[in-house]
Chains A and B, each alone.
Chain A
Amino acid sequence: MKYLILFLSLLNYSARCQNVNNFFDAYIGTNAQGYLQPLADLTIGGLNTGIQPSIRIGDRFNVRLTLNTVSMFPDKSQKTFMGVTPDEFTPKTTTEVPTIIGDPKNVRVAGVNGTSYAFSGGYGITRLSWVTPQLSFGGFFGSEISLRFMTFGNADTDFGKFSQLGVGLRHSISQYFLKKDSPFDINIGYQFNKADIGKYIKLQSNYAFLQAGVGNKNIGAFVYGGYQMGNFDVSYTGEDNKTETVNLKNQFPVLVGVGTHIQLGFLSLTLGVGGVKPIIAFGNIGFRFQSKSKPVKP
């Protein structure tokens, strides 16, 4: 199974000045929202997944560079929406048709007296993946701050410029009621994401979560759950060269998951799965550098 990395694809596109508009312009008006909605749910859920590289924040200052890989597997229900025929079409018909990630085949509806209308097909997306670099500073007051920043592309090309900013916070609340040598940890956290995906997509999301798990300094496992809210605005040129902007919000606010991690020297690996719609698998490769242990007074 081939494994493509989104931002490399985007670089590839921007470099070749392809017309990205074609991806979104299947509909203007009523059907555009239903057609594009899964992209918002996949993207916002994906950005909020894999943000916790481990369960233990630790009490020694550390810097961790992580490559966060996520793969979103859309739910079957996200592949179709109820499309409505245009106003002048008779009879007005509502039927199940592909979303942008749905079946590539069009759906044809027969009208009166030999007329017909076809709904566009999707792109047959069964998996969407990307990699995001993340830099974390942790181990102070039982807290950790994570940053994500990427920018590339050229504003003068059709695609425009890609830029992403992410800020995450985690704080250990178990330090206040569990013993220091307890294998259990409970953290609260918050993640903010903002991205401009070329001239076409602007998104912003907020995610608050609770993370609980068990581990030692080398290995651990955790569960997490939280509430996410996001805006996902898609702009494109539709028929008659009119610019259409579709304002979407994520439809699935609850985001939960499980993960496990291992620390091998300065290398850390994390694997997990979250969701529920879509199911999101994540894997992190991290390089952690931390301060030496404080000398113990005799």
Chain B
Amino acid sequence: MTKWLILAIIISIVMLSCDEIPFIYVEKSVSGNKTLVYNINTAGGINETAFVGVISIVNELSANKDGQLQKKDYTIKELSIQSANFEVIANQGNLSNTLYISSVVVKPAYTAAPIPFMQETSIPIGLTSIVPQSANLLFPGVDAINKSLAAAVKNRDDNTVWSVDIRGRGTPLNSRINITVKLKIVFNLVYSYCEESLFVIDGPKCGK
């Protein structure tokens, strides 16, 4: 009796050990940024343009996720703007003490009418000034870029390039402003994939 019981237990252990490892559904988010650089050196008005392609944003945010990219059913679900900030670096010869930005507008390059992206703001010029700008973002511009990103996520051939124009001047009026402005736009990427279960026993499973 005891021998049969031991045999049954050992067979059970071996069978359980050979159970197939399931794939589970995983959904994560990652934040990454795209920095647009404007080199400004003028005694008059500022009207500078930088460009950003939506596919480059998708690719850059995915670049750090090599492990996940190779996973089964890797899918980008959402990509949208999370926050933004300005970094202003004073260069040699700068005589302005404040950067006045009258507007930041965005538009699909060379095609449509500009869409307001940020409201006017003034940034004191120190050696380096980093100023959060999320509160200064404007819904029409953010929404337009988010929709463009959503389209790019669905159709990876949709490589819309956006121009981001900064207009303004230095103060005092007509003083030489020699600065580097970095507009850092932070994006949030939500992606999913199927992972071989390491710990999970009863979590949601992917199809095989």
A: residues with CB less than 8 A from B are 1-6, 8-10, 12-13, 18-23, 26, 67, 71, 86, 88-90, 104-106, 108, 111-121, 123-129, 239-241, 264-265, 267, 285
Q: Which 8 A-B pairs have the closest CB atoms?
A: A124-B203, A19-B67, A114-B142, A90-B134, A127-B201, A118-B29, A121-B27, A126-B202
Q: Are B201 and A3 closer than 8 Å at their CB atoms? A: yes
| Inter-chain pairs besides A115-B81, A115-B137, 6 sampled, C-beta below 8 Å | A2-B19, A86-B82, A86-B83, A90-B135, A104-B26, A128-B201
Chain A hits for B31, CB < 8 A: 86, 117, 239
Q: Pick the contact of A4 from B21, B78, B143 — CB < 8 Å?
A: B21
Chain B hits for A10, CB < 8 A: 198
Q: Which of B165-208 contact A (CB under 8 A)?
A: 186, 188, 190, 195-204
Chain A hits for B17, CB < 8 A: 5, 8
Q: Which of B5-13, B96-104, B153-161 lies at the interface?
A: B5-13
Query: Does B126 sit within 8 A of A, measured CB to CB?
Result: no
| Minimal beta-carbon separation of A219 from chain B (angstroms) | 15
Query: Does B132 sit within 8 A of A, measured CB to CB?
Result: yes
On whether A115 and B80 interact (CB within 8 A), knowing A23-B198, A88-B134, A90-B135, the answer reads yes
Q: How far is the CA of A106 from the CA of B135 in the complex (A)?
A: 24
Chain A hits for B5, CB < 8 A: 264, 267
A-B contacts, 30 listed (Cβ < 8 Å): A4-B201, A6-B199, A19-B67, A20-B198, A21-B67, A67-B13, A86-B31, A86-B186, A88-B84, A89-B83, A90-B83, A104-B204, A112-B137, A113-B135, A114-B80, A114-B81, A114-B143, A116-B80, A121-B28, A124-B24, A125-B199, A125-B201, A126-B201, A126-B203, A127-B202, A129-B201, A239-B30, A240-B64, A264-B5, A267-B6
Chain B hits for A265, CB < 8 A: 2
| Minimal beta-carbon separation of B148 from chain A (angstroms) | 13
Q: Pick the contact of B188 from A18, A116, A128 — CB < 8 Å?
A: A116
Interface size of B as a range: 35 or more
On whether A112 and B135 interact (CB within 8 A), knowing A5-B16, A22-B195, A86-B82, the answer reads yes
Q: How far is the CA of A108 from the CA of B71 in the complex (A)?
A: 23
B: residues with CB less than 8 A from A are 2, 5-6, 9, 13, 16-17, 19-22, 24-32, 64, 66-68, 71, 78, 80-85, 132, 134-135, 137-139, 142-143, 146, 186, 188, 190, 195-204
Chain A hits for B26, CB < 8 A: 104, 121, 123
Chain A hits for B32, CB < 8 A: 239
Q: Are A114 and B201 closer than 8 Å at their CB atoms? A: no
